[in-house]
Chains A and B, each alone.
Chain A
Amino acid sequence: MKRKTLTWFFVIPAILYLFIINLFPLLWALGLSFFKYNLLTERTPKFVGVDNYGQLFNDPNVWLRMQITGKFILISLPLQFILGTLIAFLLYTELYGRRLLLTLFLIPLLIAPVASALFFRFLLDANFGLVNWVLSELFGWKIYWLGSEKVPILGVEYALLTVALVETWIWTPFITLMVTAGLSTIPKSVLEQASIDNISLLDKFRYIVFPYIKPILGLALILRAMDAFKTFDTIYVLTAGGPGVSTEIITFYIYKLAFQGWDFGSASALSFGILVIILYLTTIFLDYFIFKGEEE
């Protein structure tokens, strides 16, 4: 057998697997997005062309959910990156028990998001939650964490902030882990030289540390941004999207379209719309954090 044929022999099962598991459902969903189809009542699927896309584009409900998704990402992602990076720097120093601390910091990542959300739901309950009990005992006031009152300065509902904070609690360790991996690639000699040369802390970060961790931060940003778009379990357990639609991000809306309204055509169309947005954002992030560095 020729080497090329042999290569194909080994590659084809993987390609077939990829096609069956990934591509086929994707293409099927794409096809579905051109039909009006209710799975449960099983009226004959009706071909509607790009109507589903057009309707969604003009649907204020979709734009409202996009705004909520934007707010949610803009709160949770920076918090995760700032906290995750700070913790990683803290653990990078010669701190006693840093290995134990790193393990402890990773615990939220090891717990299923559904369990974490449930745990916070009880903790943050307006009337019987531990957090409000402590606040009430110490300061004489409570916060309705899952309510619709606006957070001062931020201007978003407490419920949305709470969901973002819980997501931050779950995912900050991931950033810590990534940044720790990035920091471990910096040669000790470079940092020692910088200390000998009396370079300021800010310059040390700007010219030495950041270039080393930039690609891995970029990768973390891509992964987390994609994941943030797909957040579902935390919201489902904490607020079910409420109050009203205050915490209903776009994936939650897709879920409702598909599994409450059984409108698979619109749900598929919206999913593809989101896929395009995520691909676009990924390309920008890749360009900035990874490829731009390579060109330089």
Chain B
Amino acid sequence: MSRNALFAIVIIAILIVGLGIWYATRPPTPTVKKVTLTIASPEWTPGKVIEQYSKEEFTEYAKQYGYEVEIRFDYSPWGTYYQRLSSVFAAHSSEIDLAFSDSQWIGEFAEGGHIIKINDFLDKNPDLKKALLEDTLENILLYYCVYPRRGISVDEVVDLAKQGKVDIWGVPGTADSNHPLFYRKDLFTHPEERAAFKAKYGYDLPQTYEDWKKVDWVQVRDFAEFFTRKKGEKLAGEVLEEDFYGIVLINAKDYDYISCFFLDVFWSWGAELWDEETMTAEGYVNSPQAKEAARFYMELVKYMPPGAPSIDYDALITTFAEGRAAMTSLWSSMAGIFFDPSASKVADKIGVAVMPHHNGVRYTVLGGQPLVVSAYSKNQEVALLYLKWFYSDDVQKKLALDLGFTARKSILNTPEFMNSHPWTQAYVENAKYAKDFWNIPLYSKLLEAQQEILNAMVAGQIPPDEAMDLIAQRHEEILKEAKGG
């Protein structure tokens, strides 16, 4: 072999080895994974706002992690949302990656293995863990994210979570946690009405936000009675062209409609649905306080529009926005329409107050939904990434200012949030009184029985005392089944 040939071979060998080393040690080429993330949501404004924002912002955020994400929201009307979600889970379908689940469904979904526990994910993401455990209202953390919650109080949930002693299944999704009281400011401050009220009841109608904080439910009945007027009578100096009602609350049988409004009164009377420890309803849901609360609720029904058993959200919003009722109560997520002059005749005449108390006890039914990850998702990694993005400070602040509710303590008391919507002050005050009902797997059966009987009570088919006894009886049967009896 000539020297030249040997030299050429050595050069070629060096080149091959060099190329090999370069190839082996080169930085990996970033590969972009395409993912479609499907999020189940009720068909409502918060869902649309979150969808829009996710499409604008999360897609960019995910690119940092090598994902090209397409966001798709799977909407269902509220009345059928539970059926939609539970059917998808029951079929073990991967068509949904994340879901805004109602807080009471967590037990059913967790027990069935349909959603994933996020404790490990939280441990790997300290910022998210900190936001969830240290900057979230404790009652929302407990009711939205923790299962089982038996024996865990609102006061101890954070400590237990920090010690890793509770199972966490999601982050607050739409923290529409309570419903304030809306009233007709123009009527409550009208001099003639005020004088007439004082003459009849011996005390003043509330005027300021602070006045309303002192209002007892019993006074709400007085207000409702006072303002209920017939067509042709005068109201605030004007002759009424239609009947006018003191109060409008939701009593329809669908889903959890009536329970969400009845329980405001029920809990404020000091009644309880059950003993969570012993899983007993008898003696709780039909206690003397419970029966008194039911009788009181029926007093309020007298001052509601006719056809009270079928008042749903549409009917409530129409009645109040048309200027046909003096007071109502509604979730913050839906209240925007009251203040929209194109949809409400009373847009500039509405005041917002904290939920009334009864003898110093104040509660409001917890609303809102945690955001959970489906156990059948084929994109769990991206779904968890979405969870992390969704609960980050910036996203939560932006959504809070847009929607008018949040679970984050650091946002709640900022002037920016307080001034963002007419109801925020009452929302913040109410939030600490929010209380949830059962979240055990048989929740839907308990709810169904309660809805059916409360609706019949409002329809006058069952007297209040008997209604509460019937609920106790039906709940006992269901809870017996839950206990494996």
- Interface positions of A (Cβ within 8 A of B): 38-42, 125-128, 142, 144, 146-148, 239-246, 256, 259-263
Stretch of B6-14, B274-282, B453-461 with 4 or more beta carbons under 8 angstroms from chain A = B453-461
Instruction: Tell me if A242 and B309 are in contact (CB < 8 A).
Output: yes
Q: How far is the CA of A128 from the CA of B318 in the complex (A)?
A: 9
Q: How far is the CA of A261 from the CA of B477 in the complex (A)?
A: 13
| Residues of the B chain whose Cβ atoms lie less than 8 Å from the Cβ of A41 | 108, 111-112, 441
| Residues of the A chain whose Cβ atoms lie less than 8 Å from the Cβ of B109 | 40
Instruction: Tell me if A146 and B310 are in contact (CB < 8 A).
Output: yes
Q: B331: CB under 8 A from chain A? A: no
| Residues of the B chain whose Cβ atoms lie less than 8 Å from the Cβ of A42 | 112-113
Q: B83: CB under 8 A from chain A? A: yes
Q: How far is the CA of A38 from the CA of B481 in the complex (A)?
A: 11
| Residues of the A chain whose Cβ atoms lie less than 8 Å from the Cβ of B450 | none
Q: B315: CB under 8 A from chain A? A: yes
Determine the residue in chain A with the shortest Cβ distance to B109.
A40
Best-surrounded residue of A38, A127, A147 (most CB of chain B within 10 A): A127
Q: Which 4 A-B pairs give the minimum distances between C-beta atoms? A: A244-B456, A126-B307, A243-B459, A148-B459
Determine the residue in chain A with the shortest Cβ distance to B448.
A260
Q: B452: CB under 8 A from chain A? A: yes
Shortest distance from the beta carbon of B254 to any chain A beta carbon, whole Å = 5
Instruction: Tell me if A243 and B445 are in contact (CB < 8 A).
Output: no
Task: State which of A39, A241, A244, A259 has its C-beta within 8 Å of the C-beta of B461.
Answer: A244
Q: How far is the CA of A34 from the CA of B440 in the complex (A)?
A: 25
Q: A128-B318, A242-B310, A245-B452 are in contact. Are A148 and B460 (CB under 8 A)?
A: yes
- Given A40-B108, A126-B305, A243-B459, 14 new contacts (CB under 8 A): A41-B441, A42-B113, A126-B310, A127-B307, A128-B318, A146-B310, A242-B309, A242-B310, A242-B452, A243-B309, A243-B455, A245-B452, A259-B86, A260-B448
Q: B462: CB under 8 A from chain A? A: yes
Determine the residue in chain A with the shortest Cβ distance to B248.
A127
Instruction: Tell me if B310 and A127 are in contact (CB < 8 A).
Output: no
Instruction: Tell me if A127 and B441 are in contact (CB < 8 A).
Output: no
Q: How far is the CA of A110 from the CA of B318 in the complex (A)?
A: 31
| Residues of the B chain whose Cβ atoms lie less than 8 Å from the Cβ of A259 | 83, 86-87
Instruction: Tell me if A147 and B305 are in contact (CB < 8 A).
Output: no
Q: A148-B309, A260-B448 are in contact. Are A242 and B441 (CB under 8 A)?
A: no
Instruction: Tell me if B315 and A127 are in contact (CB < 8 A).
Output: yes
Determine the residue in chain B with the shortest Cβ distance to A142.
B306
Instruction: Tell me if A40 and B441 are in contact (CB < 8 A).
Output: yes
Determine the residue in chain A with the shortest Cβ distance to B474.
A61
Instruction: Tell me if A260 and B445 are in contact (CB < 8 A).
Output: yes
| Residues of the A chain whose Cβ atoms lie less than 8 Å from the Cβ of B421 | none
| Residues of the B chain whose Cβ atoms lie less than 8 Å from the Cβ of A148 | 309, 456, 459-461
Q: B89: CB under 8 A from chain A? A: yes
Shortest distance from the beta carbon of B101 to any chain A beta carbon, whole Å = 12
| Residues of the B chain whose Cβ atoms lie less than 8 Å from the Cβ of A241 | 253, 452
- Interface positions of B (Cβ within 8 A of A): 79, 83, 86-87, 89-90, 108-109, 111-114, 252-254, 305-307, 309-310, 315, 318-319, 322, 324, 441, 444-445, 448, 452-453, 455-456, 458-462
Instruction: Tell me if B310 and A147 are in contact (CB < 8 A).
Output: yes
Task: State which of A40, A128, A243 has its C-beta within 8 Å of the C-beta of B253.
Answer: A243
Q: How far is the CA of A39 from the CA of B114 in the complex (A)?
A: 11
Instruction: Tell me if A147 and B441 are in contact (CB < 8 A).
Output: no
Q: How far is the CA of A146 from the CA of B307 in the complex (A)?
A: 7
Best-surrounded residue of A146, A239, A260 (most CB of chain B within 10 A): A260
Determine the residue in chain A with the shortest Cβ distance to B105.
A40
| Residues of the B chain whose Cβ atoms lie less than 8 Å from the Cβ of A39 | 90
Determine the residue in chain B with the shortest Cβ distance to A241.
B253
Q: A244-B452, A244-B462 are in contact. Are A144 and B253 (CB under 8 A)?
A: no
Best-surrounded residue of B83, B90, B310 (most CB of chain A within 10 A): B310
Shortest distance from the beta carbon of B169 to any chain A beta carbon, whole Å = 15
Best-surrounded residue of A39, A40, A128, A146 (most CB of chain B within 10 A): A40
Q: How far is the CA of A40 from the CA of B105 in the complex (A)?
A: 11
14 contacts between A and B (CB under 8 A): A42-B113, A126-B305, A127-B305, A127-B315, A128-B315, A146-B307, A242-B252, A243-B456, A243-B459, A244-B309, A244-B461, A259-B86, A260-B83, A262-B90
Shortest distance from the beta carbon of A257 to any chain B beta carbon, whole Å = 9
Determine the residue in chain A with the shortest Cβ distance to B312.
A240
Instruction: Tell me if B315 and A125 are in contact (CB < 8 A).
Output: yes
| Residues of the A chain whose Cβ atoms lie less than 8 Å from the Cβ of B448 | 256, 260-261
Determine the residue in chain A with the shortest Cβ distance to B319.
A127
| Residues of the B chain whose Cβ atoms lie less than 8 Å from the Cβ of A144 | 306-307
Best-surrounded residue of B309, B318, B324, B453 (most CB of chain A within 10 A): B309
Q: A41-B108, A42-B112, A127-B315 are in contact. Are A239 and B310 (CB under 8 A)?
A: yes
| Residues of the B chain whose Cβ atoms lie less than 8 Å from the Cβ of A242 | 252-253, 309-310, 452, 455-456, 459
Instruction: Tell me if A244 and B453 are in contact (CB < 8 A).
Output: yes
Instruction: Tell me if A240 and B253 are in contact (CB < 8 A).
Output: yes
Instruction: Tell me if B445 and A261 are in contact (CB < 8 A).
Output: yes
Instruction: Tell me if B459 and A147 are in contact (CB < 8 A).
Output: yes
Q: How far is the CA of A38 from the CA of B324 in the complex (A)?
A: 45
Shortest distance from the beta carbon of A155 to any chain B beta carbon, whole Å = 14
Instruction: Tell me if B306 and A127 are in contact (CB < 8 A).
Output: yes
Q: How far is the CA of A259 from the CA of B80 in the complex (A)?
A: 10
Q: How far is the CA of A42 from the CA of B248 in the complex (A)?
A: 41
Shortest distance from the beta carbon of A159 to any chain B beta carbon, whole Å = 8
Task: State which of A125, A244, A263 has its C-beta within 8 Å of the C-beta of B307.
Answer: A125
Shortest distance from the beta carbon of B223 to any chain A beta carbon, whole Å = 20
Best-surrounded residue of A240, A243, A256 (most CB of chain B within 10 A): A243
Shortest distance from the beta carbon of A23 to any chain B beta carbon, whole Å = 22
Q: How far is the CA of A256 from the CA of B254 in the complex (A)?
A: 12
Determine the residue in chain B with the shortest Cβ distance to A145.
B307
Instruction: Tell me if A243 and B462 are in contact (CB < 8 A).
Output: no
| Residues of the A chain whose Cβ atoms lie less than 8 Å from the Cβ of B452 | 241-242, 244-245
Best-surrounded residue of B83, B253, B318, B441 (most CB of chain A within 10 A): B253
Determine the residue in chain A with the shortest Cβ distance to B111.
A41
Q: How far is the CA of A296 from the CA of B93 in the complex (A)?
A: 57
| Residues of the A chain whose Cβ atoms lie less than 8 Å from the Cβ of B86 | 40, 259, 262
Q: How far is the CA of A144 from the CA of B311 in the complex (A)?
A: 12
Q: How far is the CA of A142 from the CA of B455 in the complex (A)?
A: 21
Shortest distance from the beta carbon of A44 to any chain B beta carbon, whole Å = 12
Determine the residue in chain B with the shortest Cβ distance to A36.
B481
